[in-house]
Structure 1
Amino acid sequence: MPFMKGREPIRRTLKYLNAGKLVLKDKVRIFSVNYNTYGAHHAGARDFVFWNIPQIQFKNPEVQVLTLKNMTPSPFVRCYFDDGRDMLIDLDSRNRNDIIDHLVKVVGKTREQLDAEERLKESKDNPANFGYGCGRHCICEIPGQVPCPGTVPLPDHMRGKILFAPK
Structure 2
Amino acid sequence: EKKRIGALLKQYFQKLNMPFMRGVAPIRRTLRYLQKGDIVLKDSVHIVSINYNTGAENHVGLREFVFWHLSQVQYKNPSVQIVTFKNMTPTPFIRCYLDNYEEIIMDVDSQSKEDIYDRFKRVLAKPQAQLQLEAKSSEDNPANFGATCSKHCICEVPGQVPCPSVVPLPKTMRGKYVFNPDLLNE
Interval of TM-score (by shorter of Structure 1 and Structure 2): 0.7 to 0.9
* Contact kept? 1:44, 1:93, Cα under 8 Å: yes
Rounded to whole Å, the distance in 1 between the matches of 2:164 and 2:76 is 41
Aligned pair partner of 1:122 in 139, 146, 166? 139
Rounded to whole Å, the distance in 2 between the matches of 1:52 and 1:89 is 17
Q: Matched residue of 1:6: which SS? A: coil
Answer yes or no: is 1:75 the counterpart of 2:75.
no
Identity percentage of aligned residues: 47
What are structure 1's unaligned runs of at least 5 residues? 148-167
Rounded to whole Å, the distance in 2 between the matches of 1:68 and 1:108 is 22
Rounded to whole Å, the distance in 1 between the matches of 2:80 and 2:162 is 43
Deviates more, 1:46-55 or 1:122-131: 122-131
> Taking structure 1 as the reference length, what is the TM-score of the superposition?
0.78
Answer yes or no: is 1:17 the counterpart of 2:31.
no
Pairing of 1:80-99 with structure 2 (within 5 A): 80-99=97-116
Q: Matched residue of 1:68: which SS? A: strand
Rounded to whole Å, the distance in 2 between the matches of 1:59 and 1:45 is 19
What are structure 2's unaligned runs of at least 5 residues? 1-17, 168-186
* Contact kept? 1:20, 1:55, Cα under 8 Å: yes
Answer yes or no: is 1:55 the counterpart of 2:75.
no
Alpha-carbon offset, residue 141 of structure 1: 4.4
Structure 1: which 4+ aligned runs deviate by more than 4 Å? 140-144
Alignment length, in residue pairs?
A: 144
1:165 match: none
Q: Which protein, 1 or 2, shows the higher relative CO under an 8 Å CA cutoff with sep ≥ 6?
A: 1
Alpha-carbon offset, residue 127 of structure 1: 2.1
> Taking structure 2 as the reference length, what is the TM-score of the superposition?
0.70
The one-letter amino acid of 1:92's match is D
* Contact kept? 1:130, 1:137, Cα under 8 Å: no
Alpha-carbon offset, residue 82 of structure 1: 1.1
Alpha-carbon offset, residue 57 of structure 1: 0.3
Alpha-carbon offset, residue 121 of structure 1: 1.8
